[in-house]
Amino acid sequence: MDYKKLIIRGISYSQTQSGAYALLLEHEETAVKLPVVIGNFEAQSISLGLEKDIHPPRPLTHDLFSKFIKSSGYTLNSVIIYQIIDGVFFSNLNFKCLATEEELILDARTSDAVAMAVRFEAPIYTTEQVLSEAGILLELDIPPVVKEAFSDLESESQSGSLRNLSSENLQNLLETAVKDEDFDAALEIQQEIKRRNKKID
Task: Encode pLDDT of 36-47 as tens digits.
Answer: 989 888 988 898
pLDDT in tens, 110-168: 999 999 999 999 999 999 999 988 888 654 333 333 333 334 444 444 435 677 777 77
**143 and 127 inside one domain:** no
Element (H, E) at 103: strand 103-109
Same domain, 183 and 111: no
Same structural domain, 99 and 167 = no
Structural domain ending residue among the three candidates 134, 164, 182: 134
Same domain, 102 and 173: no
User: Taking the CB of residue 63, how many other CB atoms lie within 10 A of it?
Assistant: 17
Please report which helix (H) or strand (E) contains residue 68, including its range: helix 61-71
Query: Could you read off the pLDDT of 51-77 as tens digits, one per residue?
Result: 776 677 788 899 999 999 999 999 999
**What value, to the nearest 5°, has the Cα angle with vertex 116 and ends 111 and 120?**
150
Mean pLDDT in residue range 18-40? 87
- Domain extent, residue 150, equals 139-200
